[in-house]
Amino acid sequence: MPTKLGAHTVRLDSMPSILSFAAVASKKEGQGPLGGKFDILNDDTSFGQQSWEKAESQMQKLCVGKALEKANLSPEAIDFMFAGDLLNQCIGSTYGLRDFSIPFFGLFGACSTMSESLTLASMFVDSGLANRCIAVTSSHFCSAERQFRFPLEYGGQRPPTAQWTVTGSGSVVVGKNVKPPYVKAVCVGTIEDLGIKDSNNMGAAMAPAAAKTIQTFFEDTCTNADNYDLIVTGDLGEVGSNLMEQLLAREGISLGTKHNDCGLIIYDRENQQDVNAGGSGCGCSASVLCADILPKIQNGELNDVLFIATGALMSPTSVQQGESIPGIAHLVYLSSQSVRKGVL
C-alpha cells in the first residue's frame, strides 16, 4: 500500500520489484563507455526499417520483447503498459507496441518519460491495481533532429550548450516484491519554468524542475545526499547539471560527489565523441538506467539510487511563439534492499 510522505512523495510500502529490464541502442552509443552493456545493439540506425520513425518504433518493440523474454513472461502476463516518446503524437510507442495487445496508457513527459512510466508502473503494483506492469520509452537522433530542429542533410551548427539525442530505448517490468532492485518511493514532479527560451539549451530549461523535485523529496523524506550512493538525473548534460547544482546550493543542498547525469554517462565527451554538452532524449535516461544502473543495483555495486529523468515540455511551435520552456522531473528511489531505513 502506498503512503503519502509530505507534499509530493509516495512511499511504496510493499517495495515492488523490478523483475526485468532491457536496453536497446545503436552505433554511436555502442562506441561509448556503455558499449558492451546494451541487450540489443544495432549498428544500423535504421533497425531494418524504411524511416527513422519506424526505426524508433522497432526499437521499442525489440526492447519490450527482450524485457519480457528475460523475465520469461508472455505479454498476457502484463496488466498494463505505460509508454511514450518524443515524436509527434508519440508514434514511436503507439506503432511499436500495438502488436502486444497489452492494456495501454499513453504518456507524454518528454525526456522524463522513463521516470514517469516507471513511477506509474510502480504505484500500480504497490497499490494492488496490477500484478505486473511494463514501462518503456525511446528516442532516435534522426527522428528527433528533423522534427525538433533541422533536416539532417542541412548540417546545422550546434552551439556548445546543445545536446545529442540518444538513439536508444529502455523498458522495465515491475512486479510484486520478490528480488532486487526494489522501488521504495516515488516523487511526482510539478511543471517548473524559470523562463529559459533557448531551445538549444534544454539542460538549463530542465534544471529547475530537477532541483525542485530533489529538494521536495529530501524535505518529504528527511533525507539528504549522504543517504544515497548515486543521484542520477536524466539528461541535463553538463550545462544543466551545473545549473541544477547552483539552484540546489541556493537552498542549502549539496549533492557532493553523489550526482551524475545519464547524458554524461552514455557518451565519452572528453575523447572522441562529439556530443557537445552531453546526451539527451527519452532514450538517454531509459537506456542508461537499463544498461548500467539497474544491473549495478542488482549486483550490489550500488545500494540506494535516486533516478530523476527530466523533461522539457515545449514544442517547436511554442518556442517560435516566444514561449519559455517548462520542465518536469519525476524521481524514483531504487534500492538493492527491501528493508526500511528511517522513514523509507
Phi first, then psi: what are they for 305, rounded to 5°?
-130, 135
Amino acid letter, 287: S
Scan for cell 518511493, then name that residue. Answer: 185
Given 28, 37, 54, 259, the residue binding a copy of itself (CB under 8 A): 54
Is the CB of 143 or the CB of 336 nearer to a copy of itself?
143
Amino acid letter, 194: L
Q: Which stretch binds a copy of itself (CB under 8 A): 79-87, 164-172, 262-270, 285-293?
A: 79-87
- Give the Cα separation of 186 and 307 in Å (integer): 9
Site track for a copy of itself across 109-128, x = CB under 8 A: xx-----x---x--xx--xx
Is the CB of 127 or the CB of 273 nearer to a copy of itself?
127
Q: Are strands 133-139 and 80-85 parallel, antiparallel or unpaired?
A: parallel
- Give the Cα separation of 203 and 284 in Å (integer): 13
Scan for cell 543521484, then name that residue. Answer: 231
List the one residue out of 241, 231, 229 whose CA is nearest residue 306: 231
8 contacts a copy of itself (rule: CB under 8 A): yes
Site track for a copy of itself across 17-46, x = CB under 8 A: ------------------------------
- Give the Cα separation of 212 and 126 in Å (integer): 25
248 contacts a copy of itself (rule: CB under 8 A): no
Distance from the Cα of residue 194 to its chain's centroid? 22
Q: Give the nearest distance from C-beta 296 to a copy of itself in angstroms.
A: 28
What does the block give as the cell for 292?
548500467
Q: Give the nearest distance from C-beta 201 to a copy of itself in angstroms.
A: 17
Binding residues for a copy of itself (CB under 8 A): 1-2, 4, 8, 10, 50-51, 53-54, 79-80, 84, 86-91, 94-95, 97-98, 101-110, 116, 120, 123-124, 127-129, 147, 188-193, 311, 313-318, 321, 323, 326, 328
